[in-house]
Amino acid sequence: MKRRQGVDAVAIFLDLNSILDEAQSGMIKSDSHSDQSEKTSSVPMINTEYVSGLVSVIIPTFNRKQLVQEALASVVAQTWPDIEIIVVDDGSTDGTFERLTRWQRDNPEIAFTVLHQDNAGVASARNNGLAHARGEFLYMLDSDDLVFPDALETLVQLLSAGNFPYAIANIHSSDENGRILAADKSGISRSSEQNILSNSWMTHAALYRRSTLLESGIYNNSLVVGEDTEFVWRVVAKTGSGSSTSKYIGLRRQHSFGHLSFNRTDHECTKSSLQARLAFREWANSENLEIEKTDMRYRIAIVGMAIRFGCAGDWESKDHAKRLYVCIMNDPDRKPNFVDILAMPNRRLYYHFLLSIYLAAKGIRGVYRFVRNLRDSGHQGAKAIS
């Protein structure tokens, strides 16, 4: 397989929405092998034993019988010699599982396992694969994405250079045919334990030590979107910074029928991102981790989200926003500000009234900031003249 050249990069995660963009502050050994096809529904915990030097590549898939074969080809072309591939079919209905088992029969020399489960989502499929993985190093690849031939070798070398919990590299963004998108303009997101919630990276940008996942936990099965970023937050919160390189090691292929995030409304994306943040905060509190508290602007933004959910009649999400607010305060003996607002009866008219007040307050704040910036720029100009 030839390496693709001359491409840019992107790292995308669906954040809450524009009301949070400016509100976000600095927060925080077994040597045997058997190729097999299995049908399984239960997912045991990740095993503590492993094969030294082996990279386990976990590929969840659903109704992607052609794309998953291309992903497999990119893994088979790796220069790192010690690899096992585990593909988890998440209840496909288009013949994906049958094609995978046929591919397995046609390639007996490859360390390849096919698992099948009832449809339960990508997080469950990844966890299923992780439970069957034998490698010292763990690598997740979506079935519609591709990796360059030296991707795993690059990441293993990064981990081997020090006692790092994980290693991350850059990923290009392209359409399904490999053509780079014009919007592709960013690379790795930050990796900093001081700003935990600013961390996100493409799923196949990172290679993890098994010990890292034993410490931080596997994927959250309850999350439909944002499960990968919530997982990253837990990894950083538990293990700190990893090793990184600016080198590009793969492609993220974007297409309307493949990536769930591209087919969702703003309301659904905001709801899913809220659920990811809530899951992380509740986990952090249960682990007694000291996550830096957010400032007042962020808390007000959460209230704004709750009001919008109330206007839409999405009472479950409104209650999730309330839980997130209480969670970031992490003080069970104190009733936080704004909780009375979030706990009001589920009446849409009431929340439309609150929304008008909220938007008016944001407008006034925007005018104030505009005037302040003009004043500051005037002062700077006067100083320059003097």
Q: 193 and 308 share a domain? A: no
**Does the residue 276 lie in any domain?**
no
Lowest mean pLDDT among 2-6, 147-151, 171-175, 234-238: 2-6
As a whole number, mean pLDDT of residues 96-107 equals 94
- Report how far residue 213's alpha carbon sits from residue 40's, in angstroms, rounded to the nearest whole number: 22
Q: Given 263, 283, 306, which residue is the final one in a domain?
A: 263
Judge whether 277 lies within some domain. Answer: no
Q: 194 with 327, same domain?
A: no
**What does residue 89 show for φ and ψ, rounded to 5 degrees?**
-85, 120
Domain match, 309 and 205 both: no
Sheet containing 243-254: give its strands across.
Answer: 36-39, 112-117, 83-90, 51-61, 135-140, 206-209, 166-175, 243-254, 146-147
Domain termination site, one of 243, 263, 283: 263
Tell me, yes or no, whether 247 and 325 share the same domain: no
What gap in Å lies between CA 160 and CA 182, rounded to an integer? Answer: 35
Is it the case that residue 238 has pLDDT exceeding 70? yes
Q: Can you name the residues that pair with 36 across neighbouring β-strands?
A: 113
Position 287 in a domain: no
pLDDT at 9: 27
Residues 67 and 127 in one domain: yes
319 falls in which pLDDT band (50, 70, 90)? confident
Q: Is residue 141's pLDDT more than 60?
A: yes
What is the C-alpha to C-alpha distance for residues 187 and 349, in angstroms, rounded to an integer?
44
243 and 381: one domain?
A: no
Name the β-bridge partners of 254.
175
Asked, for residue 336, whether it belongs to a domain, the answer is yes
Whether 139 and 187 map to the same domain: the answer is yes
3-state secondary structure of 145: coil
Which of the four pLDDT bands, split at 50, 70 and 90, describes residue 353?
Answer: low
Confidence of residue 26 (pLDDT cuts 50, 70, 90): very low
User: Which residue has better confidence, 111 or 193?
Assistant: 111
Helix or strand or coil: residue 277?
A: helix
Q: Give me the residues paired with residue 137 across strands.
A: 55, 209
Looking at the structure, tell me whether residues 101 and 234 fall in a common domain: yes
**What pLDDT, on a 0 to 100 scale, did the predictor assign at position 249?**
95
Residue 111 backbone dihedrals phi, psi, to 5 degrees:
-70, 95
Do residue 55 and residue 158 come from a single domain?
Answer: yes
**Contact (Cβ atoms closer than 8 angstroms) between residue 57 and residue 83:** yes
Higher pLDDT, 329 or 338: 329
Asked if the structure places residue 3 within a domain, the reply is no
Cα torsion through 32, 36, 39, 42, rounded to 10: 20
Last-in-domain residue among 224, 243, 263? 263
- Same domain? For 105 and 145 the reply is yes
Averaged over 268-291, what is the pLDDT? Answer: 82
Residue 314, pLDDT score = 77
Question: Confidence class of residue 290 from pLDDT cuts 50, 70 and 90?
Answer: confident
* CA–CA separation, 65 and 114 (whole Å): 13
- CA-wise closest residue to 76 among 136, 159, 179, 152: 152
**Does residue 307 share a domain with residue 244?**
no
Residue 189, domain CATH: 3.90.550.10
Q: What percent of the chain has pLDDT over 70?
A: 63
Q: What span, in angstroms and rounded, lies between the C-alpha atoms of 316 and 227?
A: 19
372 and 256 in a common domain: no
Look at 44-48, 257-261, 295-299 and tell me which has the smallest mean pLDDT: 257-261
What domain range includes position 301? 293-385
What pLDDT sits at residue 351? Answer: 62
Least confident stretch, 302-306, 321-325, 375-379: 375-379
What CA–CA distance (Å, rounded) separates 68 from 99?
Answer: 10
pLDDT in tens, 111-135: 999 999 999 999 999 999 999 999 9
Q: How many domains does the chain have?
A: 2
* 3-12, 60-69, 314-323: least confidently modelled range: 3-12
In a domain, 269, yes or no: no
Domain-located, residue 6: no
Classify residue 273: in a domain, yes or no: no
